[in-house]
Amino acid sequence: MFGLYQTAFGVLTWGNILMLLIGGLLIYLGVARKMEPVLLVPIGIGVLMVNLPFAGLMIYTPEGLPVEAGTVSELIRAIGDGKIGLLNVLYTYGIKSEVIPLLIFLGVGAMTDFTPTIARPISFIFGAVAQLGVFIVFIIAYCSGIFSPHEAACVGIIGGSDGPPTVYLTAALAPRLLGPITLVAYSYMALVPILQPPIIKLLTSKKERAIYMKPQVRDVSRLEVVLFPIIIFLVAALLVPKSTPLVGMFMFGNLLRASGVTDRLAQSAGGVFIDVLTFLLGLTVGALMPAVVFLRPETLAIIGLAIVAFAFSTAGGLLSAKFINLFLKEKVNPMIGAAGVSAIPMSARVVQKMGQEANPRNFLLMHAMGPNMAGAIATSVVAGIFLGMLG
Protein backbone atom coordinates (compact mmCIF):
# COMPACT_ATOMS: atom_id res chain seq x y z
CA MET A 1 0.00 0.00 0.00
CA PHE A 2 2.84 2.39 0.81
CA GLY A 3 6.27 2.62 -0.72
CA LEU A 4 9.13 1.33 1.39
CA TYR A 5 12.22 3.11 2.59
CA GLN A 6 15.04 0.78 3.65
CA THR A 7 17.04 1.94 6.64
CA ALA A 8 20.04 0.47 8.37
CA PHE A 9 17.73 -0.67 11.17
CA GLY A 10 14.68 -1.98 9.34
CA VAL A 11 11.91 -1.06 6.92
CA LEU A 12 10.18 2.31 7.25
CA THR A 13 7.12 2.81 5.02
CA TRP A 14 5.69 6.05 3.72
CA GLY A 15 2.71 5.25 5.93
CA ASN A 16 5.00 5.20 8.97
CA ILE A 17 6.43 8.56 7.93
CA LEU A 18 2.92 10.02 7.62
CA MET A 19 2.02 8.66 11.06
CA LEU A 20 5.19 10.20 12.53
CA LEU A 21 3.96 13.54 11.19
CA ILE A 22 0.51 12.91 12.70
CA GLY A 23 2.14 12.07 16.04
CA GLY A 24 4.07 15.33 15.87
CA LEU A 25 0.85 17.20 15.09
CA LEU A 26 -0.87 15.70 18.15
CA ILE A 27 2.02 16.81 20.35
CA TYR A 28 1.87 20.29 18.80
CA LEU A 29 -1.88 20.57 19.41
CA GLY A 30 -1.43 19.48 23.01
CA VAL A 31 1.55 21.72 23.80
CA ALA A 32 0.98 24.82 21.66
CA ARG A 33 -2.80 24.84 21.41
CA LYS A 34 -3.50 23.24 24.82
CA MET A 35 -6.10 20.89 23.28
CA GLU A 36 -6.52 18.02 25.77
CA PRO A 37 -2.73 18.04 26.41
CA VAL A 38 -2.96 15.43 29.17
CA LEU A 39 -4.03 12.90 26.55
CA LEU A 40 -2.88 14.19 23.17
CA VAL A 41 0.78 14.48 24.21
CA PRO A 42 1.07 10.85 25.46
CA ILE A 43 -0.93 9.64 22.45
CA GLY A 44 1.41 11.53 20.13
CA ILE A 45 4.45 9.98 21.79
CA GLY A 46 2.86 6.53 21.49
CA VAL A 47 2.26 7.11 17.76
CA LEU A 48 5.93 8.03 17.31
CA MET A 49 7.06 4.96 19.22
CA VAL A 50 4.98 2.42 17.32
CA ASN A 51 5.75 3.82 13.87
CA LEU A 52 9.47 3.26 14.29
CA PRO A 53 9.32 -0.41 13.22
CA PHE A 54 12.93 -1.08 14.17
CA ALA A 55 12.25 -0.06 17.78
CA GLY A 56 10.18 -3.18 18.56
CA LEU A 57 8.15 -1.44 21.26
CA MET A 58 4.86 -2.94 20.01
CA ILE A 59 4.69 -6.21 18.06
CA TYR A 60 1.63 -6.92 15.93
CA THR A 61 0.08 -10.09 14.50
CA PRO A 62 -0.41 -10.34 10.70
CA GLU A 63 -4.09 -9.45 11.29
CA GLY A 64 -3.09 -6.09 12.76
CA LEU A 65 -3.75 -6.89 16.42
CA PRO A 66 -1.17 -6.42 19.19
CA VAL A 67 0.49 -9.62 20.35
CA GLU A 68 -0.82 -10.30 23.86
CA ALA A 69 1.41 -11.11 26.81
CA GLY A 70 0.84 -14.47 28.50
CA THR A 71 1.78 -15.70 31.95
CA VAL A 72 4.72 -14.16 33.80
CA SER A 73 7.11 -16.92 32.72
CA GLU A 74 5.91 -16.68 29.11
CA LEU A 75 6.19 -12.90 29.30
CA ILE A 76 9.83 -12.94 30.40
CA ARG A 77 10.71 -15.48 27.71
CA ALA A 78 8.83 -13.55 24.99
CA ILE A 79 10.51 -10.24 25.85
CA GLY A 80 13.91 -11.93 25.81
CA ASP A 81 13.17 -13.47 22.40
CA GLY A 82 11.90 -10.16 21.03
CA LYS A 83 8.43 -11.58 20.37
CA ILE A 84 6.68 -8.80 22.30
CA GLY A 85 7.58 -5.27 23.30
CA LEU A 86 7.07 -3.16 26.40
CA LEU A 87 3.89 -1.61 25.00
CA ASN A 88 2.43 -5.06 24.36
CA VAL A 89 2.63 -5.61 28.12
CA LEU A 90 0.83 -2.32 28.85
CA TYR A 91 -1.83 -3.19 26.27
CA THR A 92 -2.48 -6.70 27.60
CA TYR A 93 -2.53 -5.94 31.32
CA GLY A 94 -3.84 -2.37 31.16
CA ILE A 95 -6.21 -1.98 28.21
CA LYS A 96 -7.22 -5.45 27.05
CA SER A 97 -7.94 -6.42 30.66
CA GLU A 98 -9.96 -3.15 30.93
CA VAL A 99 -8.21 -2.30 34.21
CA ILE A 100 -6.92 1.16 33.23
CA PRO A 101 -10.23 2.62 31.92
CA LEU A 102 -12.08 1.32 34.97
CA LEU A 103 -9.56 2.78 37.41
CA ILE A 104 -9.58 6.08 35.53
CA PHE A 105 -13.36 6.19 35.99
CA LEU A 106 -12.82 5.68 39.71
CA GLY A 107 -10.60 8.76 39.72
CA VAL A 108 -13.12 10.72 37.67
CA GLY A 109 -15.82 9.84 40.18
CA ALA A 110 -13.62 11.10 43.02
CA MET A 111 -13.38 14.48 41.26
CA THR A 112 -17.09 14.74 40.36
CA ASP A 113 -19.65 16.83 42.22
CA PHE A 114 -23.16 15.54 41.50
CA THR A 115 -24.84 18.35 43.48
CA PRO A 116 -26.21 20.12 40.34
CA THR A 117 -27.68 16.83 39.08
CA ILE A 118 -29.27 16.04 42.45
CA ALA A 119 -30.67 19.57 42.75
CA ARG A 120 -32.39 19.27 39.35
CA PRO A 121 -33.31 15.59 38.73
CA ILE A 122 -34.77 16.54 35.35
CA SER A 123 -31.13 16.63 34.22
CA PHE A 124 -31.31 12.85 33.83
CA ILE A 125 -33.80 13.28 30.98
CA PHE A 126 -31.42 15.60 29.14
CA GLY A 127 -28.46 13.28 29.72
CA ALA A 128 -30.43 10.23 28.56
CA VAL A 129 -31.84 11.81 25.38
CA ALA A 130 -28.37 13.15 24.57
CA GLN A 131 -27.41 9.53 23.83
CA LEU A 132 -29.53 9.79 20.67
CA GLY A 133 -26.43 10.19 18.49
CA VAL A 134 -24.95 6.97 19.88
CA PHE A 135 -27.83 4.83 18.62
CA ILE A 136 -28.33 6.68 15.32
CA VAL A 137 -24.67 6.27 14.38
CA PHE A 138 -24.68 2.65 15.55
CA ILE A 139 -27.43 1.97 13.02
CA ILE A 140 -25.72 4.00 10.26
CA ALA A 141 -22.35 2.33 10.84
CA TYR A 142 -23.87 -1.15 10.82
CA CYS A 143 -25.96 -0.51 7.69
CA SER A 144 -22.94 0.93 5.86
CA GLY A 145 -21.43 -2.54 5.59
CA ILE A 146 -18.02 -1.21 6.63
CA PHE A 147 -18.33 -2.21 10.27
CA SER A 148 -19.48 -5.33 12.09
CA PRO A 149 -22.19 -4.90 14.77
CA HIS A 150 -19.49 -4.91 17.46
CA GLU A 151 -17.46 -2.23 15.68
CA ALA A 152 -20.57 -0.16 14.89
CA ALA A 153 -21.42 -0.03 18.61
CA CYS A 154 -17.94 1.26 19.39
CA VAL A 155 -18.17 3.93 16.70
CA GLY A 156 -21.56 5.00 18.00
CA ILE A 157 -20.43 5.33 21.62
CA ILE A 158 -18.19 8.21 20.55
CA GLY A 159 -21.38 10.28 20.55
CA GLY A 160 -21.47 10.01 24.34
CA SER A 161 -18.28 12.12 24.48
CA ASP A 162 -16.94 10.25 27.49
CA GLY A 163 -13.48 8.70 27.27
CA PRO A 164 -13.41 5.76 29.75
CA PRO A 165 -16.68 4.14 28.54
CA THR A 166 -15.47 4.49 24.94
CA VAL A 167 -12.15 2.80 25.73
CA TYR A 168 -13.81 0.16 27.90
CA LEU A 169 -16.39 -0.82 25.26
CA THR A 170 -13.95 -0.77 22.34
CA ALA A 171 -11.35 -2.85 24.20
CA ALA A 172 -14.06 -5.45 24.82
CA LEU A 173 -15.79 -5.50 21.43
CA ALA A 174 -13.42 -4.12 18.77
CA PRO A 175 -9.79 -3.91 19.95
CA ARG A 176 -8.61 -3.53 16.33
CA LEU A 177 -10.24 -0.08 16.23
CA LEU A 178 -9.23 1.04 19.72
CA GLY A 179 -6.53 3.43 18.53
CA PRO A 180 -8.55 5.35 15.90
CA ILE A 181 -11.75 5.41 17.97
CA THR A 182 -10.03 6.67 21.13
CA LEU A 183 -8.08 9.33 19.22
CA VAL A 184 -11.20 10.57 17.44
CA ALA A 185 -13.25 10.55 20.66
CA TYR A 186 -10.78 12.60 22.67
CA SER A 187 -10.00 14.91 19.74
CA TYR A 188 -13.68 15.78 19.31
CA MET A 189 -14.03 16.33 23.04
CA ALA A 190 -11.28 18.93 22.73
CA LEU A 191 -13.15 20.50 19.78
CA VAL A 192 -16.43 20.92 21.71
CA PRO A 193 -16.12 24.76 21.75
CA ILE A 194 -15.96 24.67 17.95
CA LEU A 195 -18.49 21.92 17.19
CA GLN A 196 -21.35 22.72 19.54
CA PRO A 197 -22.13 26.45 19.03
CA PRO A 198 -23.29 26.12 15.38
CA ILE A 199 -25.64 23.26 16.30
CA ILE A 200 -27.04 25.16 19.29
CA LYS A 201 -27.59 28.34 17.23
CA LEU A 202 -29.29 26.33 14.49
CA LEU A 203 -31.82 24.82 16.90
CA THR A 204 -32.52 27.79 19.20
CA SER A 205 -33.57 31.40 18.79
CA LYS A 206 -31.73 34.24 20.51
CA LYS A 207 -34.77 34.64 22.77
CA GLU A 208 -34.47 31.01 23.89
CA ARG A 209 -30.74 31.34 24.48
CA ALA A 210 -31.42 34.42 26.63
CA ILE A 211 -33.84 32.63 29.02
CA TYR A 212 -32.74 33.60 32.52
CA MET A 213 -32.21 30.93 35.17
CA LYS A 214 -31.71 31.75 38.84
CA PRO A 215 -28.14 30.94 39.96
CA GLN A 216 -29.27 28.69 42.83
CA VAL A 217 -31.72 25.80 42.33
CA ARG A 218 -31.99 24.46 45.88
CA ASP A 219 -29.74 23.35 48.70
CA VAL A 220 -28.74 19.69 48.59
CA SER A 221 -28.33 17.87 51.90
CA ARG A 222 -25.29 15.81 52.79
CA LEU A 223 -27.51 12.73 53.09
CA GLU A 224 -28.62 13.15 49.46
CA VAL A 225 -25.02 13.50 48.32
CA VAL A 226 -24.00 10.31 50.13
CA LEU A 227 -27.02 8.24 49.06
CA PHE A 228 -26.85 9.34 45.41
CA PRO A 229 -23.89 7.19 44.25
CA ILE A 230 -25.20 4.15 46.17
CA ILE A 231 -28.69 4.43 44.63
CA ILE A 232 -27.36 5.04 41.10
CA PHE A 233 -25.06 2.02 41.38
CA LEU A 234 -27.84 -0.30 42.59
CA VAL A 235 -30.34 0.87 39.97
CA ALA A 236 -27.83 0.57 37.11
CA ALA A 237 -26.64 -2.85 38.29
CA LEU A 238 -30.20 -4.19 38.50
CA LEU A 239 -31.43 -2.73 35.19
CA VAL A 240 -28.25 -3.09 33.07
CA PRO A 241 -25.94 -5.64 34.76
CA LYS A 242 -23.18 -5.21 32.15
CA SER A 243 -22.81 -1.56 33.15
CA THR A 244 -21.91 -2.56 36.71
CA PRO A 245 -18.09 -2.30 36.33
CA LEU A 246 -18.21 1.20 34.79
CA VAL A 247 -20.99 2.67 36.92
CA GLY A 248 -19.68 0.87 40.00
CA MET A 249 -16.19 2.35 39.76
CA PHE A 250 -17.59 5.78 38.91
CA MET A 251 -19.94 5.77 41.88
CA PHE A 252 -17.34 4.24 44.21
CA GLY A 253 -14.97 7.09 43.43
CA ASN A 254 -17.76 9.59 44.03
CA LEU A 255 -18.69 7.98 47.35
CA LEU A 256 -15.10 8.43 48.52
CA ARG A 257 -15.58 12.15 47.93
CA ALA A 258 -19.17 12.43 49.18
CA SER A 259 -18.79 10.47 52.41
CA GLY A 260 -16.62 13.16 53.98
CA VAL A 261 -14.58 10.57 55.92
CA THR A 262 -12.34 9.25 53.11
CA ASP A 263 -10.87 12.53 51.90
CA ARG A 264 -7.37 11.07 51.67
CA LEU A 265 -8.56 8.27 49.41
CA ALA A 266 -10.59 10.68 47.27
CA GLN A 267 -7.63 13.05 46.89
CA SER A 268 -5.34 10.18 45.98
CA ALA A 269 -7.79 8.72 43.44
CA GLY A 270 -8.38 12.11 41.84
CA GLY A 271 -4.73 13.18 41.96
CA VAL A 272 -1.50 11.39 41.10
CA PHE A 273 -3.31 8.06 40.74
CA ILE A 274 -5.47 9.19 37.81
CA ASP A 275 -2.56 11.15 36.30
CA VAL A 276 -0.39 8.03 36.08
CA LEU A 277 -3.24 5.99 34.60
CA THR A 278 -4.01 8.72 32.07
CA PHE A 279 -0.52 8.90 30.62
CA LEU A 280 -0.34 5.08 30.50
CA LEU A 281 -3.67 5.06 28.64
CA GLY A 282 -2.52 7.75 26.21
CA LEU A 283 0.81 6.08 25.53
CA THR A 284 -0.78 2.68 24.91
CA VAL A 285 -3.57 4.10 22.73
CA GLY A 286 -0.98 5.89 20.62
CA ALA A 287 0.88 2.60 20.26
CA LEU A 288 -2.29 1.10 18.77
CA MET A 289 -1.93 3.34 15.72
CA PRO A 290 0.75 1.94 13.43
CA ALA A 291 0.33 2.95 9.79
CA VAL A 292 -1.02 -0.46 8.72
CA VAL A 293 -3.86 -0.15 11.26
CA PHE A 294 -4.64 3.58 11.23
CA LEU A 295 -4.35 4.40 7.53
CA ARG A 296 -7.43 2.51 6.43
CA PRO A 297 -10.82 3.57 5.00
CA GLU A 298 -12.44 2.70 8.35
CA THR A 299 -10.55 5.55 10.02
CA LEU A 300 -12.04 8.15 7.66
CA ALA A 301 -15.47 6.62 8.23
CA ILE A 302 -14.98 6.86 12.02
CA ILE A 303 -13.99 10.54 11.73
CA GLY A 304 -17.11 11.35 9.70
CA LEU A 305 -19.53 9.26 11.74
CA ALA A 306 -18.20 10.72 14.99
CA ILE A 307 -19.27 14.19 13.84
CA VAL A 308 -22.74 12.84 13.05
CA ALA A 309 -22.94 11.17 16.48
CA PHE A 310 -21.84 14.31 18.26
CA ALA A 311 -24.29 16.49 16.32
CA PHE A 312 -27.29 14.23 17.02
CA SER A 313 -26.35 13.89 20.70
CA THR A 314 -26.12 17.66 21.09
CA ALA A 315 -29.42 18.10 19.26
CA GLY A 316 -31.11 15.36 21.29
CA GLY A 317 -30.23 16.91 24.64
CA LEU A 318 -31.18 20.40 23.49
CA LEU A 319 -34.50 19.40 21.94
CA SER A 320 -35.44 17.40 25.03
CA ALA A 321 -35.01 20.59 27.08
CA LYS A 322 -37.23 22.49 24.63
CA PHE A 323 -39.85 19.76 24.90
CA ILE A 324 -39.76 19.77 28.71
CA ASN A 325 -40.28 23.55 28.65
CA LEU A 326 -43.76 22.94 27.24
CA PHE A 327 -44.77 21.56 30.66
CA LEU A 328 -42.78 23.86 32.99
CA LYS A 329 -43.99 27.12 34.49
CA GLU A 330 -40.44 28.24 35.19
CA LYS A 331 -38.65 27.63 31.89
CA VAL A 332 -35.13 26.26 31.65
CA ASN A 333 -32.65 27.59 29.16
CA PRO A 334 -32.72 24.85 26.47
CA MET A 335 -28.97 25.15 25.95
CA ILE A 336 -28.33 23.27 29.19
CA GLY A 337 -29.73 20.17 27.48
CA ALA A 338 -26.84 20.32 25.00
CA ALA A 339 -24.46 19.71 27.94
CA GLY A 340 -25.95 16.23 28.26
CA VAL A 341 -23.33 14.96 25.80
CA SER A 342 -20.99 14.77 28.80
CA ALA A 343 -17.58 16.07 27.59
CA ILE A 344 -17.00 17.25 31.17
CA PRO A 345 -16.72 20.22 31.65
CA MET A 346 -16.20 21.64 28.13
CA SER A 347 -19.83 21.40 26.99
CA ALA A 348 -21.03 23.11 30.19
CA ARG A 349 -18.54 25.92 29.58
CA VAL A 350 -19.87 26.33 26.03
CA VAL A 351 -23.39 26.74 27.42
CA GLN A 352 -22.13 29.26 29.99
CA LYS A 353 -20.37 31.34 27.33
CA MET A 354 -23.30 31.33 24.92
CA GLY A 355 -25.73 32.11 27.72
CA GLN A 356 -23.71 35.17 28.71
CA GLU A 357 -23.55 36.33 25.11
CA ALA A 358 -27.34 36.17 24.82
CA ASN A 359 -28.06 37.57 28.29
CA PRO A 360 -25.24 39.03 30.46
CA ARG A 361 -27.30 38.26 33.59
CA ASN A 362 -27.14 34.53 32.90
CA PHE A 363 -24.79 32.22 34.77
CA LEU A 364 -25.61 28.79 33.39
CA LEU A 365 -22.48 26.83 34.32
CA MET A 366 -23.88 25.04 37.37
CA HIS A 367 -27.21 24.46 35.64
CA ALA A 368 -25.39 22.89 32.69
CA MET A 369 -23.21 20.73 34.94
CA GLY A 370 -26.32 18.78 36.00
CA PRO A 371 -26.98 17.32 32.51
CA ASN A 372 -23.22 17.11 32.03
CA MET A 373 -22.86 14.67 34.93
CA ALA A 374 -26.08 12.85 34.05
CA GLY A 375 -24.69 12.33 30.55
CA ALA A 376 -21.61 10.61 31.96
CA ILE A 377 -23.81 8.14 33.83
CA ALA A 378 -26.02 7.61 30.78
CA THR A 379 -23.06 6.85 28.51
CA SER A 380 -21.82 4.21 30.97
CA VAL A 381 -25.27 2.60 30.99
CA VAL A 382 -25.40 2.64 27.17
CA ALA A 383 -22.00 0.94 27.07
CA GLY A 384 -23.46 -1.73 29.34
CA ILE A 385 -26.46 -2.13 27.02
CA PHE A 386 -24.15 -2.71 24.04
CA LEU A 387 -22.09 -5.20 26.03
CA GLY A 388 -25.26 -7.04 27.00
CA MET A 389 -26.44 -7.14 23.38
CA LEU A 390 -23.13 -7.98 21.70
CA GLY A 391 -20.55 -8.97 24.31
pLDDT band at 39 (very low <50, low <70, confident <90, very high): confident
Stated pTM of the model: 0.89
What confidence tens digit (pLDDT) does each residue in 156-200 have?
999 988 889 999 999 999 988 998 998 898 888 878 888 999 999
**What's the confidence (pLDDT) of residue 5?**
40
Bridge partner list, 296: none
Mean pLDDT of 105-130: 94
Q: What percent of the chain has pLDDT over 70?
A: 93
State the sign of the Cα–Cα–Cα–Cα dihedral 237, 243, 245, 246.
Answer: negative
Which of 366, 370, 347 has its CA nearest to residue 197?
347
pLDDT band at 79 (very low <50, low <70, confident <90, very high): low
Q: At residue 213, does pLDDT exceed 50?
A: yes
Q: At residue 53, does pLDDT exceed 90?
A: no
Residue 118: Cβ within 10 Å count: 19
**What's the confidence (pLDDT) of residue 302?**
95
Q: At residue 358, does pLDDT exceed 80?
A: yes
